[in-house]
Amino acid sequence: MKFVDEYRQSETIQKIATEIRKETTRPWTIMEVCGGQTHAIVKNRLDQLLPQVIELVHGPGCPVCVTPLETIDRAIAIAALPGVIFCSFGDMLRVPGSEYSLLDVKADGGDIRIIYSPLQAVKIAEDHPTKQVVFFAVGFETTAAANAMAATQAKQKSLKNFSLLVSQFLVTPAIASICAAKDTRVQGFLAAGHVCSITGYESYLPLAEKYQVPIVVTGFEPLDILEGLLMCLRQLEQGSYQVENQYLRAVERTGNRPAQVLLNNVFSVSAQCWRGLGEIPASGLALAEEFSDLDATKKFALPEIKPREQHQCISGAIMLGLKKPGDCPHFGTTCRPDHPLGAPMVSSEGACSAYHRYSQQVKTRESSMSSPNNQ
């Protein structure tokens, strides 16, 4: 398949892996920001090709994992209301709220529909004028652009029965927050290619400069990831800290202007709470004033949501690169995909789910790499 197979060819990948081994002279800790990259690494077992001294840690780039508990509880409350059709991407359904997941609400009779594109939710609203259709608009800039399209279309069609429950995140402030943390172990970043295809990468330039950290915009195929790693390692070894673009086939420096205009029309930058990380200023996208009539939180009078915070899952530390899934005492024992204690074990983009699904050997290897210094 074009644009896939050529980035999975064994010979080329082995060649890059050899380069990485040759050029690595000391230990480095590099974060791949996106959950999709984590899955590609673990699924293809790219870790087995790397020198032991390179440690990959996993970033907060899984929108399913970082959607706050309160928002999940709110989604569950809305989805359980009579007369509501609740539309969501599939992997949000399993995420545990304080007591239930959306899958539980569905099993108890809630009309919850898995959609593949935000525009499907608009179509469902058109087809069911007597129902209230709510779309769970979760995602980073990439998905937010499609969500903005759905909101725009609903406005154009003057749909009165369509609204969005928004939980959208901006990646740059999260990377900045990781860089600024005094206990951070991350020395270089592989930035999420698909986010940069919308935003470009100019916003990373001051970050790289301020925190003296290399940032390489990287794609999702095995070859992309190894190339991104090699570019990042060369900078680390040379002591430089530039923003580089490995994902040339999809990302331009200034990004996708029409998509940015669409985003700016529909959403405004807001403070955002990240599940496991807490609130990060200016790291979210909320509905802009002109679109506030599409805000599901205003449309439905819900009782006060009181999320039940309990603290056994270490997802925050995992997403900051301070710990890895295997460091969690619950990993693979009391926390498993069929009994998750936290969102990273649920979502198909979650680091714990990736580790659990693809490998027990990873756990063994990482345990052998862990030292008191990196706990």
Partner 1 sequence: MNLQCPLPTTNKDSIRLGHGSGGEMTQQLLKEFIQPLFKNTWIDQAHDSATLPWDSDRLVFTTDSFVITPLFFPGGDIGKLAVYGTVNDLAMGGAEAKFLSCSLILEEGLPFNTLKKVLQSMAGAAEETGVKLVTGDTKVVERGKGDGIYINTSGVGSLLSNHPIDPSYIRPGDRILLSGDIGRHGITVMASREGLEFETALTSDCAPLNAAISALLQGGIPLHCLRDLTRGGLATALVELAETSGQAFELDEAQIPVCESVYGACEMLGLDPLYVANEGRFVAFIPAEYADQASAILREERVGASCAIIGKVTGKPSAQVILKNSLGCDRLLQRLPGEQLPRIC
Query: Which residues in 209-268 contact partner 1 (CB under 8 A)?
Result: 222
Residue 153 to residue 298: CA distance in whole angstroms: 20
- Nearer of residues 138 and 150 to partner 1, judged by Cβ: 138
Q: Which of residues 27-86 bind partner 1 (CB under 8 A)?
A: 36, 43-46, 48-49, 63-64, 69
Residue choice 313, 321, 354, 366 for contact with partner 1 (CB under 8 A):
313
Q: Indicate the residue among 35 and 214 with the shorter CB distance to partner 1.
A: 35
367 binds partner 1 (CB under 8 A): no
E-state strands within 67-214: 84-88, 111-114, 132-139, 162-168, 188-192
Does residue 139 contact residue 59 with C-beta atoms inside 8 Å? no
Among 39, 59, 111, 375, residue whose Cα is nearest residue 215: 59
Q: Closer to partner 1 at the Cβ: 84 or 346?
A: 346
Could you say which of 29, 77, 81, 103 contacts partner 1 (CB under 8 A)?
Answer: 103
When binding is defined by CB under 8 A, the residue of 79, 80, 92, 285 that contacts partner 1 is 92
| Of 173 and 342, CB closest to partner 1 | 342
> How many angstroms separate the first and last alpha carbons of the chain?
42
26: nearest Cα among 55, 59, 58: 55
304 binding partner 1? (CB under 8 A): no
Please report whether residue 301 would count as binding partner 1 according to CB under 8 A. Answer: no
Window contacting partner 1 (CB under 8 A); options: 88-96, 241-249, 263-271, 298-306: 88-96
Q: Which residues contact 219 (CB under 8 A, 6 or more apart)?
A: 7, 193, 225, 228, 246, 247, 249, 250
Concatenating the DSSP letter of every residue in 342-358 gives SGGGTSTT-HHHHHHHH
Instruction: Compare residues 242 and 359 and give the one whose CB is closer to partner 1.
Output: 359
Binding of residue 1 to partner 1 (CB under 8 A): yes
| Nearest Cα residue to 164 out of 78, 283, 48, 50 | 78
289 binds partner 1 (CB under 8 A): no
Tell me the closest approach of the beta carbon of residue 293 to partner 1, in angstroms.
Answer: 25
Q: Closest approach of Cβ 276 to partner 1, in Å? A: 4
Q: Pick out residues in 325-354 that bind partner 1 (CB under 8 A).
A: 336-344, 347-349
CA dihedral 25, 26, 29, 34 (to 10 degrees): 10
Question: In this chain, which stretch among 133-141, 155-163, 255-263, 286-294 interacts with partner 1, using CB under 8 A?
Answer: 133-141
Q: How far is CA 371 from its chain centroid?
A: 27
Separation between Cα atoms, residue 270 and residue 159, nearest integer Å: 26
Phi-psi label, residue 321: left if phi above 0, alpha if psi -120 to 50, beta otherwise: left
How many residues lie near partner 1 (CB under 8 A)? 77
Q: Which of 359, 369, 370, 374 binds partner 1 (CB under 8 A)?
A: 359
Residue 279 C-beta: closest distance to partner 1, Å: 9
69: CB partners within 8 A, 6+ apart: 97, 98, 275, 307, 308, 309
Our finding on whether 317 is near partner 1 (CB under 8 A) is yes
Whole-angstrom Cα distance, residue 153 to residue 156? 5
Q: Is 312 in the site for partner 1 (CB under 8 A)?
A: yes
Q: Which residues inside 154-213 make contact with partner 1, applying CB under 8 A?
A: 181, 194
Q: Which is nearer to partner 1, 249 or 298 (CB)?
A: 249
